[in-house]
Amino acid sequence: TSKDNDNVTIRWDDHHKSHFSLEWLKQRSFSKENQEKFLNETYKISRVLWDGKELSHTKKYDYEEIMTK
C-alpha cells in the first residue's frame, strides 16, 4: 500500500492496483455511524414491493436451449 496526497493505492498479490480517495474510504468505513450514514444518504435504494404482477411481463427462456447454444 502507499499513500500520496489524499489517495491510497493498494497493490494486490496478483499485481493489479486499486486506487481510493481517503474521503471515499472514510464514507465507507465500518464504523456503525458511517455505515448508517452511507446506507441512508449515499446508497439509498428505494424499496419496491412486488405483488407478482411484475412477473407477467418477464420474458421466459428455455434453459436447455440456452445451455446448448
Q: Kindly report the pTM of this predicted structure.
A: 0.44
Q: pLDDT tens across 16-62, in order?
A: 999 999 888 887 788 888 888 888 887 777 778 888 887 788 888 99
Which residues are paired to 20 by β-bridges? 8
* CB of 26 closer than 8 Å to CB of 34: yes
d(CA 15, CA 18): 10
